[in-house]
Structure 1
Amino acid sequence: MIEINKKINRIEVKLTAHFMGDDLCIVLTGGDTPHLGAITASSQILEPQTITFENHKENFITKMSAEILRKNFSGNFVICCGIHLDDIKKSEITEVMDLCRQMIIELCNRLKDF
């Protein structure tokens, strides 16, 4: 398992990546109320497929993450994401996206060691 934590101001996000043989299950969660808002599954062959639960926007994070992973990881993967911040501001949405992008890139770099 790989675990990465990042924080900026009141935003705290946690990434855990669990190996399933040569495949990977990634969970991105945080904020005030961790939950499951969207799931994206993909591989080198399979175009990303996303499920977004009602009234959630985490699909933007899972799709962005899948694009990065498809370029850097050869196995199948799924990304589960749920990050909620009470009274989130537009600037904080950008910060959440940036944190998640940084974490996925760091994950890809760490995967090179496996």
Structure 2
Amino acid sequence: MQDFSLENGRIKINMKAIAIGEDLCVIISGGDSPHIGCVTLSVPRPSLADARVVSATTSLLNLVGHKDDEAARYVSHAISSRLNKNVVVTCGIHVDNITSEEIKVIMDLLKQLTDMLIQKYI
């Protein structure tokens, strides 16, 4: 299992990756009330623009009223495409009274965490 955390101001995000055979299960949590807000499944495939490049098809299940889908989709798709693996992501980040700037911080932290995780599996 790989376990990473990053923090910026009052935002702290944790990402855990568990290998299941050749596949990966990634758990993203953080904020004031971690939860399950969205689940994705990404399956690698040849890019539609260039068959020599690996891309992924990502399916998404979002709990009503949750806004974790953009974060989960990004992480799932990026990892699946870069590592050519099936990837499941569960994501739940809740920060009380979040600002639009803090939402950008969350996405920046997730991009850094995703890069860290990919580097461990390359």
TM-score band w.r.t. shorter chain: over 0.9
User: 1:111 — aligned with what?
Assistant: 121
Tell me how many residue pairs correspond in the alignment. 112
Q: How does 1:4-15 map to 2 (within 5 A)?
A: 4-15=4-15
User: 1:82 — aligned with what?
Assistant: 92
> Secondary structure of 2:114's partner?
helix
> What does the per-residue CA deviation read over 1:38-61, in whole Å, with 9 as the maximum and x for residues that have no partner?
111012136100001011111000
TM-superposed CA distance for 1:66, in Å, is 2.3
Gaps of 5+ in 1: none
Runs of 4+ in 1 over 4 A off after TM superposition: none
Q: Which has the larger radius of gyration?
A: 2
Gaps of 5+ in 2: 46-55
- The percent identity for this pair of structures is 29
State the distance in 2 between where 1:70 and 1:55 align: 26
TM-score, normalization by structure 2: 0.88
User: 2:49 — aligned with what?
Assistant: none
- Which structure has more strand as a fraction of its residues? 2
